[in-house]
Structure 1
Amino acid sequence: MNVFKLLSRSSKAAQTTPAQKLPSSGAVANPQLFGHDEPTATSPETKKSNKRKRGKNIEDTSVPLPADLDFFGSSKKDDMEPTAQAAEKKRKRASQTQTDAEVTGAHEEQETEPYNADESKRILRLHKLKVTVLEDFAPQEDEAQSEKSKKKRKKEKKVVEKKKDSKKQLFPQPLTSFAQLRSRYGISRRLAENLNEQAYTLPTEVQLGALPLLLRSRKAGEDQQNGDSIASGAEYRGDIDLLSVAPTGSGKTIAFLIPIIDALLSEKAAEGEGEDGPRAIVIAPTRELASQIVNEARKLSKGTGLKATLMKKGMEVVERPEVEDVIDEVEVPDHSEQEEESASDSGDEGKAVQQKKRKRRRADKSKAAILVTTPAALLNALKQDDGAVAELPSVRHVVLDEADVLLDPLFREQTLSVWNACVNPLLRVGLWSATMGSNIEALAISTLNARWTTLSTSKTPLPSRRPLVRLVIGLKDTAIPNIAHQLTYAATEQGKLLGLRQLLHPTALPTNSSGPPLRPPFLVFTQTIPRAIALHSELLYDIPPEAGGSSRIAVLHADLSGTARESIMTKFRRGDIWVLITTDLLARGVDFRGLNGVVNYDVPNSAAAYVHRVGRTGRAGRAGGVAVTLYTQDDIPYVKLIANVIRAAEKLRGVPEEEQSVKQWLLDALPTPTKREKQELKKKGVEARRNVKTEDGKNTARISTKSGYERRVDNRKRGAVKGSKQRAGQEPRKVEDASESEFEGFE
């Protein structure tokens, strides 16, 4: 089936165009974003010594066959042994061979030549990785500072201002293959098998830099044996709080799940079952992203005995015996007043009601080791009747996925309440996102300091504080470099709708259009939920019936039920839906590997929102994605935010200046928004699209190709028809304009 012929209404034959590599064409051999042009240094696996190793060709050995099926075995009767004894010997040999293989695999890394400091620096810089220590929380010498004079303090302040950005930089040993996780860091064998089943072979940039920082070496002192010096950050390995800024679709979920699962397995082996309650919490801003993380955690923890679950309504995380007793004593709410009166009249019936009260119990406490949740769902489960938040002493790992939005004023209070409820002094924190402002870094440091101050008041001995390390891949707050950006001026709202219809029918595009064409499946982002619903109604019958008709387009927003949202997501991933209209609900973290493009029907509220929206395509190194942004006269004061991001992304990709989609003259002509305008845009969006009132006084967002003058003429006609019906004594009936209802959607 040719999708583009079906979508096109043109009777002309489609012109032959050069083959375009699309993200939906399949998996890529190299999921990395940088370092493709320049060859990397020889990996440690290829730099082995000539020393012979036991079990080197173990994979070539065949499985032993029973004696009656070994047709090519020795035919001499003297050499034959009883079948049972032969099978026992073969089993012993196989077990010994497997043991030798494990020993060889475990010690293979010691016999290889690791990267030296210069090679590590070169590889990290080639993949555009930068690892710095934000705060090492070293104890300050107050007495020495008090003895310094004011002049020396002024001099020191000047030196600090000059060297403010020159923080300690680390150069850890890069991870060049997932096979090194088993040999170098000694992760669980079952976890390594699960990674192999999921076809994880070559790590991405964030995995290349984060996993060596979060995983401990297999033996004490092995870092020095492998050539890691103090300057490369060996003293920070495996015992840090990490703040990671990596592009969208670069594998951040796998990067923080592997260390968590490995640590939980090692804790389970050392302490047995351990404490009762969740031991790791992953917080995500939306339910769709949380569901996606749970699926990945279940794949990696298969067969390990660890359970990963999604926080749902009614699920209990902490024990509440007092609350259960109160519930037993409180009257059960009745369905009608008659039942309440009849129960109060007779004592026997009152006893029956009391028995019903006692049978009512809270849900069982969740026994999952890894709990993935949204901040509001977990906070509701932790709140007591008196308003206090219950503590979670069993949690040792907390991950904030999309940390910048979780620590934004919208979610900040809920997220910090959950963070502070984790009172374990051994708590490890991870903050992950594609965009991270300096205010988020300062908030993270202040929260860590406040939490440590609270813990220090207790009488229990505290361990040494973990440093906060920052990992940055590429440029901060920049879109991924492997997609094409198009910034299109549509003048009016009607122009934007016409432009979107042209994208739905590629053969109708002019031949001189710049950039690759947009092909389904793709996402369409709007500013508000009413605008998403209105746009879906307008385009509902824009796809011809022979291509699937209205079933190929859908709308997804937060007002839908959880079941409806899951159904739409499943159909979109399966390919039944080609065009999905949504809000910023799907702008963060959700992985659509086969998504060919993104359309910003409404301008994003910030540069970070643009980075996350367009990051739904071109994931895991897939090239060919297209990001189209339509803007009108009302959007001009805010377009420069997006133009700067596009310019930086194309510069990072190495596009020549004459071929860039955003020219320098456009940047010079666009106005620079003020700080107040940025804040207003982030909170409320473009003012012209916030509230549009209809005739009934309802707030909606009108999307139509008709101008205001045409709407007024139609309204006058409707009023005249209603007036004539009333004068004739007939009941007024609703009259719909055929041209208006053609794209209005029909409730």
Structure 2
Amino acid sequence: MGIDSILFAGTRFDRKKFAKDIAKFTKKHVEEPNSIVEALKEEPIARLESRKKGKQRAESETVDSFHVFKSSEPEMMDLGKRKLTEKKSNSKIKELNRQIEMAALARKKYGIHVAGQNIPSPLNDFAELSTRYKCKPRLLQNLSELGFKEPTPIQRQAIPVLLSGRECFACAPTGSGKTLAFLCPILMKLKKGSEDGVRAVILCPTRELAAQTTRECKKFAKGRKKFFIRLMTKELSKCGDFKNMPCDILVSTPLRLEHAITKRKLDLSRVEYLVLDESDKLFELGFLEQIDAVVGACSNPSIVRALFSATLPDSVEELARTIMHDAVRIIVGRKNSASNLIQQKLIFAGNEEGKLVAIRQFFAESLNPPILLFVQSKERAKELYRELEFANIRTGVIHADLTQAEREDAVDSFREGKVWILIATDVVARGMDFKGVNCVINYDFPESAAAYIHRIGRSGRAGRRGEAVTLYTEADLPFLRNIANVMVASGCEIPSWILTLPKLRKRKHRPQRDSIAAVPY
């Protein structure tokens, strides 16, 4: 019995009239399967759909919970790695800052002033050549045998700079060890002898300085086999067979080297190091064309160039920058200053006759050889030599008119003590290292402050004390302030009236002087 029969039993109900109302209370008809087979087919389909929906719900829940948590594990590992990397990076930065600070303290201690990017820290001692740069024990042994115990300020900074492959121009007082500062890196880098051509060139303004540099280089390289260090002599520049001549380091003056390049076809394309020693004098003497030819011939793209001098005028520094790349500027002490180990003093002589009287009186009171005596020209060197010969003083002279053999003999006699006083001009004595010179006398007033620094720098070398005496006359008074400033910078006491004199700039003092006349002794 249907629901409608129960509700309306015993009554008469008009179904047609109330059909819509009846429909509201009647269940909707669901189509049933026609057979059991169809019912069985529909049942697994329904179950499968139900499982799919359940799986989708489970996957959505898994994404919201487990998978998100699982994916965070590598992120946490990456975070840990990043923290470890940052920690290592911070420690490296701290170590780098510590090294920079230590280098700055060392430079301050030794009066080293540098300019440039990423400059290597200075040496603490020669032993660091082995630990930092793998220097061969033989070179360190040679340094020890030659009496080099501690590096000088210029050596502390210039050696690491050149060993790192950087170019540099360096200014340090005379006698401060500049020669070793550039020879040591060259000898360390050129480890084995080669027959492929010249690998290092050292230019010097004078033949005497070139010969001296060659001797020093051979001392440092003692014990090395098949390693050739050669001096460019006059005969070699004119007749040398450079194609068949093994040479690792070549030391020369600009004129002789240029002659060998142009006339004898000397090949410098494999040169790894080019050094200009006493560079300010090289440019000053009018060697610019010859130097330009040498620089052009040294065409190796990886070449390292270096300039060394006791004075570094702005003009020379500007020229240096034109031929160098990313160069380091090294100044020891004050730029263009003399060593504070030299006791300097001025003596007023009035005139030329007074100078000869003053020098004789000085020798009578305190003759402390060996003494270098500087004059303005070779003519005056000859005149003063004759005058001192009459005083029975062991005197020698060196000037440009002498032959090479005569000049070498004069220098050797002075070094051996046979000659007590050596009279010289600025050019000839430039850069020469006379061991143990006790006193330098400027008989003729120097033409410039730079000339004064180089003259008196022949004394007070390698840590020894020295003395410098400068005679001046009325004609020299206008230029006295220039020299006085150098003396003050070196810690010398100067009368206050001298410092009130006007300072003349960019003028050289080469007056026409009276001849050195004979005065009764």
Distance 1:577 1:274 in 2: 42
Q: Name the structure 2 match of 1:613.
A: 455
Q: Which of 602, 607, 616 in structure 1 is aligned with 2:444?
A: 602
Matches within 5 A, 1:241-260: 241-260=167-186
Q: Name the structure 1 match of 2:254.
A: 375
Q: 1:364 to 1:567 in 2, by over 3 A?
A: farther
Secondary structure of the structure 1 residue equivalent to 2:190: helix
Write the deviation string for residues 420-449 of structure 1: whole angstroms up to 9, x where unpaired: 11111111101000100121111112234x
Pairing 1:478–2:337 present? yes
Conserved in 1, the CA contact under 8 Å of 2:370 and 2:420? yes
Q: Which of 585, 590, 594 in structure 1 is aligned with 2:427?
A: 585
Q: Name the structure 2 match of 1:703.
A: 516
Letter in 1 for 2:328: V
Matches within 5 A, 1:188-203: 188-203=136-151
Q: CA deviation at 1:539?
A: 1.0
Write the deviation string for residues 398-423 of structure 1: whole angstroms up to 9, x where unpaired: 00000111122522121221111111
Q: Name the structure 1 match of 2:307.
A: 431
Letter in 1 for 2:199: R
Q: CA deviation at 1:119?
A: 2.8
Q: Name the structure 2 match of 1:209.
A: 157
Distance 1:391 1:439 in 2: 30
Distance 1:702 1:364 in 2: 51
Secondary structure of the structure 2 residue equivalent to 1:277: coil
Q: CA deviation at 1:316?
A: 5.3
Conserved in 1, the CA contact under 8 Å of 2:400 and 2:428? no
Pairing 1:263–2:189 present? yes
Q: CA deviation at 1:117?
A: 3.2
Secondary structure of the structure 2 residue equivalent to 1:631: strand
Q: CA deviation at 1:541?
A: 2.2
Pairing 1:664–2:496 present? yes
Write the deviation string for residues 74-94 of structure 1: whole angstroms up to 9, x where unpaired: xxxxxxxxxxxxxxxxxxxxx
Q: Name the structure 1 match of 2:4.
A: none
Matches within 5 A, 1:14-29: none
Q: Which of 186, 199, 202 in structure 2 is aligned with 1:282?
A: 202
Q: CA deviation at 1:529?
A: 0.4
Q: 1:674 to 1:401 in 2, by over 3 A?
A: closer
Secondary structure of the structure 2 residue equivalent to 1:580: strand
Distance 2:210 2:155 in 1: 20
Greater than 3 Å deviation, 4+ residue runs: 113-117, 316-319, 362-366
Write the deviation string for residues 54-112 of structure 1: whole angstroms up to 9, x where unpaired: xxxxxxxxxxxxxxxxxxxxxxxxxxxxxxxxxxxxxxxxxxxxxxxxxxxxxxxxxxx
Q: Name the structure 2 match of 1:633.
A: 474
Pairing 1:182–2:108 present? no
Matches within 5 A, 1:48-447: 116-133=99-116, 172-215=120-163, 238-265=164-191, 268=192, 274=194, 276-305=196-225, 306-315=227-236, 365-384=244-263, 391-408=267-284, 410-447=286-323
Write the deviation string for residues 127-146 of structure 1: whole angstroms up to 9, x where unpaired: 1101111xxxxxxxxxxxxx
Letter in 2 for 1:667: L
Conserved in 2, the CA contact under 8 Å of 1:115 and 1:173? no
Distance 1:598 1:610 in 2: 10
Secondary structure of the structure 1 residue equivalent to 2:487: helix
Secondary structure of the structure 1 residue equivalent to 2:222: coil
Q: 1:435 to 1:363 in 2, by over 3 A?
A: closer
Backbone CA RMSD of aligned residues: 2.4
Distance 1:258 1:375 in 2: 22
Conserved in 2, the CA contact under 8 Å of 1:524 and 1:599? yes
Q: 1:390 to 1:197 in 2, by over 3 A?
A: closer
Secondary structure of the structure 2 residue equivalent to 1:258: helix
Q: Which of 642, 646, 660 in structure 1 is aligned with 2:483?
A: 642
Q: Which of 368, 386, 389 in structure 2 is aligned with 1:540?
A: 389
Q: Percent identity among equivalent residues?
A: 41
Q: CA deviation at 1:558?
A: 1.2
Letter in 2 for 1:486: K
Q: Which runs of 5+ in 2 are unaligned?
A: 1-95
Greater mean alpha carbon deviation, residues 370-379 or residues 409-418: 409-418
Distance 1:114 1:262 in 2: 28
Q: Which of 484, 504, 514 in structure 2 is aligned with 1:673?
A: 504
Normalising to structure 2: TM-score of the pair? 0.77
Secondary structure of the structure 2 residue equivalent to 1:609: helix
Conserved in 2, the CA contact under 8 Å of 1:290 and 1:310? yes
Distance 2:482 2:369 in 1: 27
Distance 1:530 1:418 in 2: 33
Q: Which of 408, 412, 433 in structure 2 is aligned with 1:566?
A: 408
Secondary structure of the structure 1 residue equivalent to 2:462: helix
Conserved in 2, the CA contact under 8 Å of 1:253 and 1:293? yes
Q: CA deviation at 1:521?
A: 1.3
Write the deviation string for residues 351-410 of structure 1: whole angstroms up to 9, x where unpaired: xxxxxxxxxxx687532210100001111111239xxx7652121110000011112252
Distance 1:672 1:207 in 2: 34
Q: CA deviation at 1:196?
A: 2.2
Distance 2:110 2:358 in 1: 38
Name the count of aligned residue pairs: 426
Distance 1:318 1:571 in 2: 30
Normalising to structure 1: TM-score of the pair? 0.54
Letter in 1 for 2:374: F
Highest Rg: 1 or 2? 2
Q: Name the structure 1 match of 2:371.
A: 522
Q: Name the structure 2 match of 1:721.
A: none
Secondary structure of the structure 2 residue equivalent to 1:486: strand
Secondary structure of the structure 2 residue equivalent to 1:619: coil
Q: 1:391 to 1:278 in 2, by over 3 A?
A: closer
Distance 2:444 2:190 in 1: 44
Q: CA deviation at 1:586?
A: 4.1
Distance 2:202 2:374 in 1: 27
Conserved in 1, the CA contact under 8 Å of 2:369 and 2:420? yes
Distance 1:538 1:671 in 2: 35
Secondary structure of the structure 2 residue equivalent to 1:418: helix
Conserved in 2, the CA contact under 8 Å of 1:174 and 1:209? yes
Q: CA deviation at 1:588?
A: 2.0
Conserved in 2, the CA contact under 8 Å of 1:313 and 1:377? yes
Q: 1:115 to 1:202 in 2, by over 3 A?
A: farther
